Amino acid sequence: DAGVIQSPRHEVTEMGQEVTLRCKPISGHDYLFWYRQTMMRGLELLIYFNNNVPIDDSGMPEDRFSAKMPNASFSTLKIQPSEPRDSAVYFCASSSADYGYTFGSGTRLTVV
């Protein structure tokens, strides 16, 4: 099992550009979570999906953020337009009926 796969590992972009972060969950896991980690706010839940359906997006900071899960093996988190305050590490995690949550390696986003 390759685990949860996120891409890219690092992204540097200019303010105003669109950024797309990608996540491939573990096969068979029916829950997918997107978290953001910053020094100031720690790990925050942005949105999560169950069987590809968004369940709770109350953590999405504003309309510039959107997330999709078109199928069981792929999810995207898009920021358009990006701002310097969006700089953070973005984690994707997946889980199944047991108690475990597996995190991806994260995407470090820098907006300049």
CB of 15 to another protein, least distance (A): 24
CB of 6 to another protein, least distance (A): 10
- Please say which residue, 35 or 65, places its beta carbon nearer to another protein: 35
The 3-class secondary structure across the chain, one letter per residue, is CCCCEEECCEEEECCCCCEEEEEECCCCCCEEEEEEEECCCEEEEEEEEECCEEEECCCCCCCCEEEEEEECCEEEEEECCCCHHHCEEEEEEEECCCCCEEECCCEEEEEC
Count, residues near another protein per rule CB under 8 A = 25
**Binding to another protein, residues 31-90 (CB under 8 A):** 31, 33, 35, 42-43, 45, 48, 50, 55-56, 89
Question: What is the sign of the dihedral through the CA atoms of 68, 22, 24 and 61?
Answer: negative
**Binding to another protein, residues 6-35 (CB under 8 A):** 31, 33, 35
CB of 82 to another protein, least distance (A): 20
Residue ranges that bind another protein, judged by CB under 8 A: 31, 33, 35, 42-43, 45, 48, 50, 55-56, 89, 91, 93, 95-103, 105-106, 108
